[in-house]
Structure 1
Amino acid sequence: MPEIFFTGKNGGTNAFTVILHFNDINQLNGILSLVNEAFDKAYWELKKKS
C-alpha cells in the first residue's frame, strides 16, 4: 500500500507526498491508478460536503 502524507498548504492548495513500495516496475501503473482513484474520491467527497 502507498504511504500518503500531508506535507503542506498554500492558500487553497494542499500538497501531499506519496511513497510507493513495489518489487516489479510492471506494478507501477496499477499502484498509480489506486492513488489517483483515492485522491479523486476524496476530492468529490469533500466537494459534496461544501
Structure 2
Amino acid sequence: MTIPPLSYRISAAPRAHLFRVTLSISEADPEGQILALPAWVPGSYTIR
C-alpha cells in the first residue's frame, strides 16, 4: 500500500484570526480516505 501524495494550501486572514486550509489528494483511493484532525491544543495536555 502506498500513501498518495498530499498537497496543502494555507491562506490567512490575520485581522479575523482565521486560516483556511485546503488539502488536495492527487491520487485518491476510489474506496475513500480516512482523514483526522488533531484533538489537542499546543501547550495544553487537555483534550478539547
**Which category of TM-score, normalised to the shorter sequence, fits these structures?**
0.3 to 0.5
Q: Normalising to structure 1: TM-score of the pair?
A: 0.46
Structure having the larger proportion of residues in helix: 1
Structure 1 or 2, whichever has the larger Rg, is 2
